[in-house]
Amino acid sequence: KTWFKVVFHFEGNRVVFYVEDSTTANALKQVSRKITDKDKYKVVIQANPSVAPSSVTHELRAEDIEHIKNCMGKRYDVSQHALDLNSLRNDPDLISQNIDVMLNRRNCMHTVVKIIEQHIPELLSLNLGNNKLSRLEDMMDLKAPALKILNLSRNEVKLERDLDKIKSFKLEELWLEGNPLCDNYRDQTAYVSAIREKFPKLLRLDGHELPPPISFDVEELTTLPPCKGSYFCTDDIKLLVSRFIQQYYSVYDMG
């Protein structure tokens, strides 16, 4: 399934991805209408020749990376350790430099992740809303151990399992509203339960305080004090006292 990882994304109700050669493309095309989805509809697979996607063919130029770094610096709130990358592609500074930063492209997300690692590893809050993110795999390399708040609202994340890519983050607040995956649950309770299973430390979801998690009190084990040896002046006294105690408890137990 490695071919799914080459710019895998959604266009409306269609899934689009690239493969590296015509042999693979033709093999996939041969199974068109031979497999069914979960609703028993036959899956149609089309294969069309295409140039390689830009995110695969080139890396960002050094001067572009520097502009992105400066842009991120302006969007970083030092007092809150918060980085706001909401709708980054529409940033006026980047547009003025003709830099197209789409975080759903691997090279762009990789650049942002590296800048965070190198310059703001103390990051507490990250806003990635409105960036057309459909895959979170490229966030797995994010090194921000203090991260507590993540905003992924109004993106294109469709499946709950996509969150597995970021469940190692010890999040206390998460925003997912506006993503297709939110429509996969029968009610709010099921939604909260599923997300909390991924992020057990979560306190707020989509801006709402969560009820405290159900837990069970476990009785603490009582540790008995260590047994300490007795002190006797002589062995004769020790023998005398030991015999007395044995006889005393023997009589006590019998009656």
Retrieve residue 84's tokens. 């706001």
Query: Which residue intervals of the chain bear CATH 3.80.10.10?
Result: 62-209
Q: What is the C-alpha separation between 132 and 76, in angstroms, rounded? A: 21
Instruction: Give the CATH number of domain 62-209.
Output: 3.80.10.10
Residue 107, pLDDT above cutoff 70: yes
44-58, 121-135, 173-187: least confidently modelled range: 44-58
Instruction: Give the CATH number of domain 1-57.
Output: 3.30.70.330
Residue 187, pLDDT above cutoff 60: yes
Reported as a single tens digit per residue, the pLDDT across 131-150 is: 999 889 989 999 999 999 99
